[in-house]
């Protein structure tokens, strides 16, 4: 996986770039819609391409491993073919889901044992079988197995957790370079930088990961995990300010699971290149619309007689097609069409957010523009 | 509303035709997707036009009256504008929903009082205010208010119910011709023929409706109600064989709420021109797919390793885009995308069903073709 920086913002650490995978190029900064179980909830793949203009989407190893399962994915020829998506896919290792979704689990140096949240069946992820699993899924970019430490963990817990993650990373990377992709195209891996909100731990995590994967072409970039998991937002920004400058300039940086439109703009300003979050779809399903002018709760009765277009500044086909009053009605009447329209709009907005950011970085005025934009997108309408 | 017959099948009572509304032409036989509360569940309007190729959709007066309510619809300028659909719309009067959805109701000669199934609020539909309501909705074709008699009612009950419906029809028609449309385009009304499974009552209903609306241009066609409501299927076909020949040849006949693909083909053979049913969307949401080769239950594990296209004979973009194994997975994983794909496919299939029927009527071989087609579409795969 090759990454080329194409512009840097003079007033911040923001940068634009492009990376190449077997399934096409991705321009950064980029937002990646989340297709957890093999579908971006409520959005056709056709519309992800043509309307949302997604360049890469996510899948989740934990969910896909349980359903449809590895045998199905292997016969299908990988996730791309299974879900009919011929652009890049990134998969999370599933570590986060083991910690957030399973009731019963046991984490040891060997790996993590867990019971499925669906049927209670018993499974184990080790760094080695997690590589194998993501080889079967066939994603273009795969994440190392890690323990995601809670945002309010004490430093002792966080240090122990980081040590475990580092041991897993060593085994994961070793197994990754010793194995081959299954479907004739290259995959790249990203180590995940943990360390909670503790600067020394974060530094240690970066040193370890960088010295381990070094300049290996196998490592496509670096992920920053364990943020937006309960810590104050300011702490998240502090960690980014610390971590990004320590990471190689010539590899993309992926801030996992983040976040609000403001979080994304602030992340870009601190040097982050890739983002994913369920917020546009999950909050969309609950009636929340993100726009350049702020956040709209479509369940609010104030929209019931507003017949103006959903979002006159929006780029999606739904933005001029449907009115606020109509979408409000659909949410109140509990029509599934409401979730579809809101998800479509929000994803298109998130992609517009990173597109506009790229344009401003290229124009050299990102830092100033971002100050105003953050305020606008955070307004409650 | 003008209707022109364009072909008749020599071997059956099937015929093709075309009727003209202010929002465009509709070719018959036609299937009308059901957009109860202002959305065809899970399907974009864009896809109804371009992929499903729907020529007319339904709305439901009961549901729209309760949500979003008449004030919203009036300010929007009617349902077409409210939901952004510029092709024809037909609305049911809501009588059927009052009987099927509300717990508490009282039917008198005056009209029907009922409590909303949503919040228990009290309302009354009279023939007169039901005309006014459908004027506000602004549908191209509006249905008379009727009492839908259960399919297993005894003849005495059915006769009393028919008498009530006839009285309501007289008042409905009178008020309809005395009032004007609100949005500058014509609306047409259809009387509804009731009479349960009793030939004498059905005849009496036809005589009354035909003599009442006569050759009035206000009456665009005739609906046949109270079928597929619990009576044996053979009884439904008998009633169609009785009623259709008694109805004017030069008006379209609409069989309400019917049905399976086989029901539709048999209805066409007996002279029916218009159909609506929630089956393609509702059963689709539950995993049932209708195809030319039969009915597939996508939850069945037999599809889990079938990577062939959803329906190689299907006309929708989903049919070749997604595999059976993928759709099976989406249903098992409870992804909302499953309901979207199944609804899209089923509606496109229902429209293909009537399109193929039209072609065979025009070719003059509908009767023979129908025999084989009914068996094929009824097979359980």
The CA distance from B274 to the nearest CA of chain A, in Å, is 26
Residues from chain B that touch A322, judged by Cβ atoms under 8 A, are 84
Whether A211 and chain B come into contact, CB under 8 Å, resolves to: no
Q: Is the predicted pLDDT of residue B327 greater than 90, yes or no?
A: yes
Contact assessment for residue B93 and residue B187, using Cβ atoms and an 8 Å cutoff = no
Within a 10 A sphere around the Cβ of B215, how many other Cβ atoms?
A: 9
Q: Is the predicted pLDDT of residue B378 greater than 90, yes or no?
A: yes
Percent of all residues in chain A with a pLDDT value above 70, rounded to a whole number: 100
pLDDT in tens, B63-114: 999 999 999 999 999 999 999 999 999 999 998 898 888 778 899 999 999 9
Instruction: Name which of B178, B177, B171, B168 is nearest B145 in CA terms.
Output: B168
| Of the partner residues A40, A76, A330, the one whose CB lies closest to the CB of residue B307 | A76
A276 catalytic residue (yes or no): yes
Contact assessment for residue B130 and residue B123, using Cβ atoms and an 8 Å cutoff = no
pLDDT in tens, A282-308: 999 999 999 999 999 999 999 999 999
Whether A308 and chain B come into contact, CB under 8 Å, resolves to: no
pLDDT of residue A214: 81
Determine phi and psi for A145, rounding to 5 degrees. Answer: -75, 130
Region B211-230: mean pLDDT is: 94
pLDDT in tens, B136-145: 999 999 999 9
As a whole number of angstroms, the distance between CA A256 and CA A97 comes to 13
The CA distance from A323 to the nearest CA of chain B, in Å, is 8
Residues from chain A that touch B68, judged by Cβ atoms under 8 A, are 304, 325, 329, 332-333
Q: Does this complex have an ipTM over 0.95?
A: yes
How is chain A split among helix, strand and coil, in percent rounded to 5? Answer: 45, 20, 35
As a whole number of angstroms, the distance between CA B311 and CA B288 comes to 13
pLDDT of residue B155: 96
| Of the partner residues B38, B76, B307, the one whose CB lies closest to the CB of residue A307 | B76
Helix, strand or coil for residue A288?
strand
- Please give the structure tokens belonging to residue A276: 């994913």
Task: Enumerate residues 326 to 365 of chain A having a beta carbon within 8 A of any beta carbon in chain B.
Answer: 326, 329-330, 332-333, 335-337, 339-340
- pTM higher than 0.90, yes or no? yes
Whether A323 and chain B come into contact, CB under 8 Å, resolves to: yes
Helix, strand or coil for residue B360?
helix
pLDDT in tens, B260-280: 999 999 999 999 999 999 999
| Of the partner residues B67, B321, B332, the one whose CB lies closest to the CB of residue A329 | B67
pLDDT of residue B214: 81
Are the beta carbons of A44 and B325 separated by less than 8 Å? no
Parts of chain A with a pLDDT under 70 = none
The CA distance from A326 to the nearest CA of chain B, in Å, is 6
Contact assessment for residue B25 and residue A320, using Cβ atoms and an 8 Å cutoff = no
Are the beta carbons of B38 and A336 separated by less than 8 Å? no
Among B326, B331, B334, B345, the residue to mutate for chain A (most A Cβ within 10 A): B326
Within a 10 A sphere around the Cβ of B195, how many other Cβ atoms?
A: 28
As a whole number of angstroms, the distance between CA A202 and CA A219 comes to 19
Percent of all residues in chain B with a pLDDT value above 70, rounded to a whole number: 100
Whether B309 and chain A come into contact, CB under 8 Å, resolves to: no
Task: Cite the active site residues of B.
Answer: 92, 276
Whether B305 and chain A come into contact, CB under 8 Å, resolves to: yes
pLDDT of residue A101: 84
Alpha-helix residue ranges (DSSP H) falling in B102-154: 127-137
Alpha carbon A216 to its chain centroid, in Å, reads 23
Contact assessment for residue B138 and residue B80, using Cβ atoms and an 8 Å cutoff = yes
Are the beta carbons of B41 and A76 separated by less than 8 Å? no
> How many residues in total does chain A contain?
381
- Cα B161 to Cα A201, A346, B105, B313, distances in angstroms: 79, 51, 15, 45
pLDDT of residue B104: 82
Catalytic residue among A92, A140, A146, A319: A92
Whether A293 and chain B come into contact, CB under 8 Å, resolves to: no
The CA distance from A68 to the nearest CA of chain B, in Å, is 6
pLDDT of residue A103: 78
Are the beta carbons of B38 and A330 separated by less than 8 Å? yes
Are the beta carbons of B68 and A304 separated by less than 8 Å? yes
Percent of all residues in chain B with a pLDDT value above 90, rounded to a whole number: 95
Are the beta carbons of B72 and A336 separated by less than 8 Å? no
Whether B86 and chain A come into contact, CB under 8 Å, resolves to: no
């Amino acid at each position: 996986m090759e990454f080329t920086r194409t512009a840097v913002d003079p007033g911040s650490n923001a940068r634009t770039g492009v990376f190449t995978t077997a399934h096409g190029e991705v321009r950064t900064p980029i937002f990646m819609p989340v297709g957890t179980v093999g579908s971006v909830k409520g959005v056709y793949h056709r519309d992800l391409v043509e309307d949302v203009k997604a360049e890469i989407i996510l899948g989740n190893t934990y969910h896909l491993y349980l359903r449809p399962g590895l045998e199905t994915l292997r016969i299908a020829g990988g996730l791309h073919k299974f879900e009919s998506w011929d652009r890049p896919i990134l998969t999370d290792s599933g570590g986060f889901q083991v910690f957030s979704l399973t009731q019963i689990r046991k984490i040891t140096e060997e790996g993590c044992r867990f019971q499925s949240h669906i049927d209670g069946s018993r499974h184990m992820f080790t760094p080695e079988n997690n590589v194998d699993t993501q080889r079967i899924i066939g994603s273009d970019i795969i994440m190392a197995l890690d323990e995601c430490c809670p945002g309010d963990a004490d430093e002792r817990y966080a240090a122990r957790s980081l040590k475990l993650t580092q041991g897993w990373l060593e085994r994961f990377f070793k197994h990754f370079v010793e194995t081959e992709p299954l479907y004739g195209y290259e995959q790249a891996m990203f180590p995940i930088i943990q360390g909670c909100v503790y600067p020394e731990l974060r530094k240690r995590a970066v040193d370890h990961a960088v010295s381990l994967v070094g300049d290996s072409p196998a490592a496509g970039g670096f992920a920053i995990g364990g943020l937006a998991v309960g810590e104050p937002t300011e702490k998240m920004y502090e960690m980014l300010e610390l971590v990004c400058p320590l990471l190689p300039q010539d590899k993309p940086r992926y801030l996992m699971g983040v976040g609000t439109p403001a979080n994304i703009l602030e992340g870009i300003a601190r040097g982050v290149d890739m983002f994913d979050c369920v917020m546009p779809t999950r909050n969309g399903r609950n009636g929340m619309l993100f726009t350049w002018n702020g956040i709209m709760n479509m369940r609010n009765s104030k929209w019931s007689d507003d017949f103006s277009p959903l979002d006159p500044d929006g780029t999606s086909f739904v933005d001029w097609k449907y009115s606020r009053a109509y979408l409000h009605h659909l949410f109140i009447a509990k029509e599934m069409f409401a979730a579809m329209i809101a998800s479509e709009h929000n994803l298109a907005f998130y992609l517009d957010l990173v597109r506009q950011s790229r344009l401003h970085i290229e124009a050299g005025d990102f830092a100033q523009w971002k100050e105003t934009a953050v305020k606008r997108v955070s307004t409650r309408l």
